[in-house]
Amino acid sequence: MIESLPPLVAPLANLVALLLALAFRRNRAVLLLLVITLAAAALAGYPALLAGRQDAALMFAPWLLFAGAAIPERGLLARRNLLLLFATSVAVWLTFAAPPHVWSSLHAALPLGALPWGASASAALLVVVAAGLCALRLVLRGGPMEGGLAAVLLCTAFAVSPTARNGSATLALTAAGVVAVLAVLYASFRMAFIDTLSGLPNRRALDEALARLSGDYAVAMVDIDHFKRFNDTHGHAAGDLVLKAVATQLRTIRGGRAFRFGGEEFCVLFGSAHARAAEACEAARQRVEQARVRIRSVPNPRRRTQAVRRDEASDVRVTISIGVAERDAVARTPDEVLKIADQALYRAKASGRNGIVVA
């Protein structure tokens, strides 16, 4: 099965991934997939009659992939990206037009001619290091696209390694293209439907979930008490930590699905467990009240002459107010239930906050 896979499948799979990444403006992925597509075409023997084309993939692609993995995500026409595109163009030109004596010199020097390794082993090592850079960025900053790029580069590293034969190299490069397509689609889905700060589904996901609701259900609106005052006192970075902490508690709410509604507000939908929505919300309220959030305050200066002082790290406590409403004969549509839950939330805040009101 591996041997029967047409060689042209690998560059085509990566070309599809490249076009998809371009459509979704995943610019680092575009640069990396451009190099992988060219390398896959060269290793597959396209275009025909190109002297030294397979050597070109081992010589140039690892360095270009390493550079593409190292640069940050920027606009496609940013200066660093243009430099990488120019370097890729030079590599393509050398592959087609380099004189024999220049080609032999390049062959001896690239990718790591000073080391006593073969070209395939050196190329695989560089691509593995590039994959490590993406994995490191994934650990430090998160983002599913980085994990996808790391997997794509590992597939490419195997394809150029000495152990890969023609059939397995084609399969590995095809897998790289498929993984790239899935990574772009998943990252774009998360951007569209997942709130990046809290990790919860966002307002768009909530609207779609409300549109699909039927039967009996309950909606809870949740608001962090005195959040604006907290931001003014401790700074927005501390406020972001509080939002993440509250989202963590709401994510585990029993029988409900939490969404980031906007600002300091959240929404929780209860389906089959709607009868126990108030009980689950009260348990979540108590967990938030008892939790402590470690922050480092950066007060906002009221005057320009005042210096911003960074305080020592401290633990703070926050509370939430909740309004709960169920679908009934009066509130039939999701919008009506959401509105009544929002009114119950305002009553909870008006009655002293840190409480729950059931409509």
Question: Which of 135, 160, 192 finishes a domain?
Answer: 192
What total number of domains does the chain contain? 2
CA-nearest of 286, 310, 285, 291 to 299 is 310
**pLDDT score at 303:** 40
- Which residues contact residue 248 at a Cβ distance below 8 angstroms, ignoring those fewer than 6 apart? none
Asked if residue 197 is part of any domain, the answer here is: no
pLDDT in tens, the chain (359 residues): 445 678 889 999 999 999 999 999 999 999 999 999 999 998 887 776 554 566 888 899 999 999 999 999 999 899 999 999 999 999 999 888 888 888 888 888 888 887 778 889 999 999 999 999 999 999 998 888 999 999 999 999 999 999 887 789 999 999 999 999 999 999 998 888 999 899 999 999 999 998 888 788 999 999 999 999 988 888 888 899 999 999 999 999 999 999 999 899 999 999 877 888 999 999 999 999 998 888 876 655 554 444 445 556 788 899 999 999 998 767 778 888 999 999 999 999 999 999 999 98
- Condensed to tens digits (0 to 9), the pLDDT of residues 111-149 reads 888 777 888 999 999 999 999 999 999 999 888 899 999
What does the longest C-alpha to C-alpha distance in the chain come to? 86
Examine the fold and report which residue of 165, 192, 219 is the final residue of a domain before the chain moves on. 192
- The pairing of beta strand 320-326 with beta strand 265-270: unpaired
- Does one domain contain both 209 and 354? yes
Task: Let me know if 264 is a catalytic residue.
Answer: yes
CA–CA separation, 279 vs 185, rounded Å?
A: 38
Q: Do 41 and 178 lie in a common domain? A: yes
The domain in which residue 172 lies consists of 9-192
CATH code (residue 247): 3.30.70.270
Question: What's the CA gap between 44 and 50, in Å, rounded?
Answer: 11
Q: Are 268 and 222 found together in one domain?
A: yes
Specify whether the CB–CB gap between 152 and 34 falls below 8 A.
Answer: no
Among residues 208, 264, 279, 336, the one annotated as catalytic is 264
Residues 224 and 178 grouped into a single domain? no
| 15 and 97, same domain (yes or no) | yes
This model's pTM is above 0.75: yes
Q: What are 146's two structure tokens?
A: 């980085």
Distances in whole angstroms, Cα of residue 142 to Cα of each of 139, 148, 187, 239, 308? 6, 12, 11, 20, 29
Claim to verify: residue 20 and residue 68 sit in the same structural domain? yes
